[in-house]
Amino acid sequence: MPLELYLIRHGESKANSAGIVQGQLDTEITELNEDGIAQSTTTAQYLKDTGITFDSAWTSDLKRAKKTAEIILAAQPNPPLLNETASLRETNMGDLQGQHFTDLEKYESPHPSVETQAAVAERLVTFFERILEPNTIPLTTNDKLHRTLLVTHGGVLSRLLQSLTTSGWLSNAPGVSMEGWFILNTSISIIRVDEEDRTKGIMTQFGGVEHMKNTTGVKPLLRPKTEEEIERLKAVLADTVVAA
């Protein structure tokens, strides 16, 4: 059975627009703002209009991701059960959570309270391997395409794709590049999984935002941080890849 994974970053949150480090904060300021709800609704309509339906779905249990997933699935003709998991949470940013990006320079680098990238990679890859197991998504002999929705966060999505690429499991389809690793709100990345034994995957789309172009009344997808702020955050986190 062919298997496709749709990896989608959550819509814009209040903290995104304010330039505040979220990590695993799950408070009112990390909930979707009006633009984030509009982005999620536009994404949901695009998937519906293009006939993309999902057979299974997982989301980070943080509210901003869960709400995005709920909006997407609400537009589906026959939505699957939404599975929530802490494994898809954003990196725990420790004492940096709730701080403005411009204030990060006062913290030591790398900060000891921040979840290490090795730990992030381990929990993400463990989860990823689990959902590919036959007892989670059964291997069958039919030709029906099974699509799985994964809604998560920019930082951990970057880390997951890096880890899968480094291990040799993931490669890019012709014309697809992950250069830069910036993942915008409600962007769509697609992985086609080897249908024989699921030991290989091909990235057929990375960070796609075509569905957000030429939309009326929806804020354009822009990086919520300046290049200077991104570099400052990278210095604090050392080897962390930062999502826009």
Residue 59 pLDDT:
98
Residue 214 pLDDT:
64
Distance between CA atoms of residues 78 and 171, nearest Å: 31
Tell me the two tokens of residue 118. 């090795």
The answer to whether the peptide bond before residue 110 is cis (omega within 30 degrees of 0) is yes
Residue 219 pLDDT:
57
pLDDT (tens digit, 0 to 9) for every residue of the chain, 244 residues total? 689 999 999 999 999 989 899 999 999 999 999 999 999 999 999 999 999 999 999 999 999 999 999 999 999 999 999 999 999 999 999 999 999 888 887 777 778 899 998 999 999 999 999 998 877 776 655 668 899 999 999 999 999 999 999 999 999 999 998 876 678 899 999 999 977 778 899 999 999 988 887 665 555 554 444 556 555 545 544 433 333 3
Contact indicator for 118, 135 with CB cutoff of 8 Å: no
Half-sphere exposure of 21 (CA within 13 A, CB side): 25
Phi, psi of 191, deg, nearest 5: -120, 125
Residue 242 pLDDT:
38
- Whole-angstrom CA distances from 50 to 44, 68, 76, 205 are 10, 18, 11, 15
Which residue type, as a one-letter code, is found at position 168? G
